[in-house]
Amino acid sequence: MELERLLRTQGFGSRSECRALVHSGRVRVAGEDCDDPLADFDPEGFSFAVDGVPWTFRKNAYIALNKPANYECSHKPRFHPSVYALLPRPLVTRGVQAVGRLDEDTTGLLLMSDDGQFIHKCTSPKKIVAKVYEATTKHDIDDAQIAALLDGVVLNDEPSAIAAAACERISDRLLRLTVTEGKYHQVKRMVAAASNRVEALHRVSIGAYVLPATLKPGEWTWLTEEDLALAQVSSSAA
Same domain, yes or no, for 137 and 92?
no
Cα–Cα dist 121/118, whole Å: 5
**Section 207-216 average pLDDT:** 94
Environment class of 158 (CB within 10 Å of its CB; exposed 0-12, middle 13-18, buried 19+): middle
Same domain, yes or no, for 24 and 76?
no
Residue 71 lies in a domain: yes
Domain total for the chain? Answer: 3
Same domain, yes or no, for 52 and 76?
no
Cα–Cα dist 42/35, whole Å: 17
Q: How confident is the model at residue 121 (pLDDT cuts 50, 70, 90)?
A: confident
pTM over 0.85: yes
Summarize pLDDT for 225-238 with one digit per residue, the tens.
Answer: 999 989 888 765 44
Catalytic residues: 103
Is pLDDT above 90 for 125? no
Is pLDDT above 90 for 76? no
Residue 106 lies in a domain: yes
CATH number of domain containing 81: 3.30.70.580
Q: Domain of 18?
A: 3-56
Same domain, yes or no, for 187 and 155?
yes
CATH number of domain containing 201: 3.30.70.1560
